[in-house]
Chains A and B, each alone.
Chain A
Amino acid sequence: MATYKEAPLATRPKTLDPAEYFNLSPDYRRAEEKRAALRAQLKRQYLQQLNNPHRKELIEDPALTRWTYARTNNNYFRPTAKTSLIGGLFGVLPLFVLYVVFKTDRDKREAKIKAGTYERPYNLST
């Protein structure tokens, strides 16, 4: 631990952090123990399934299922002031703004062509 030096792209790993080992309060240690217990249980479940010689199917990961479900099913979306504002700003406003921008640009170009003052920018045949 004394010889590990942080490099620009490498943070100090948790296992080499002296704050992990010295002056620990009992609450911190209890919380770490709980986390370690959860991790150990999950590891045990996974390894039991992995090393089971009679297993023929994929090991299903419930955390992955939950993540997929949460990301694809937007059941808990609620129209509030914030969400309506975001929806209007990104969904409705661009339609009108882009219409106005394109229309004015094209109308200006059309007027110029009709007046004969439009210079073709990429015209190769002089």
Chain B
Amino acid sequence: MENNNDMGELKSTNKKQVLLFYCVECEELARKVAAHSQLITLQSINWRSFDDGFPNLYINNAHDIRGQHVAFLASFSSPAVIFEQLSVIYSLPRLFVASFTLVLPFFPTGSFERMEEEGDVATAFTMARILSNIPISRGGPTSVVIYDIHALQERFYFGDHVLPLFETGIPLLKQRLHQLPDADKIVVAFPDDGAWKRFHKLLDHFPTVICTKVREGDKRIVRLKEGNPADCHVVIVDDLVQSGGTLIECQKVLLAHGAAKVSAYVTHGVFPKRSWERFTRKNDGSEKGFAYFWITDSCPHTVKAIENTAPFEVLSLAGSIADALQI
């Protein structure tokens, strides 16, 4: 009786051993992912360069990965690091692995895809094209795991030789919100209609506020479109933050409409040029800052920079990635 139950469990859970490779900047996240599951083992690559700047790469124990499920944790934080990771991504599937999964938590260049004119060059499309040409492995097309891709239509940029798996960091936020003492006073605010479209279904058990940008002459001003933040702990939710300008404008409007506290969540803390510094607590009491600023660990450079700096808190994607690797 017991034996039969065990067999049934094994069959239904379909757990697979996964060998996880990673790029240099993702080492910390990779370790966290491996720590989540005994089924995930870290592997190593020798990342060196030739004098001319081009990569000199070596995959350790390449023979041992034959017949194994293999994954690579990538991070394209700047154009300069793309080529070396791509070389590994294009090589791994051809080493007789049982399957190949690319985990790219943050899909960059996504925010600039306002192809308004025929001369605009869609760099997100270039990136999707490059990823769509990952060679297939014995396990078929490569799975590509991406969190909160910026524009919903980008899901259609990928060709048929990859299987994009679009995940989200929102469950991590929901978990965190439930731990807060004022969990019953939380209102979710969307900085624009785009964010609302992307996230409202995942957060529909919270009251919502929607902001919008209105043109007044030369300026663009953030206004409240729907909802009431008065006396609540408002959490502004968006997929990413760059300079932070939009979030700051939203915070001002929400406070002006009576919000008790304002926090923010973005999946991807891009923060170019250290723009996260605008959000750190200034202890002169002059302005009301953000109560919490949650980001995930999709952007490793930012995570390093804001470590232990209020109001930032990092919600790790490690558990979610470990689960995605079982798909």
Answer yes or no: are A and B bound together in one complex: no
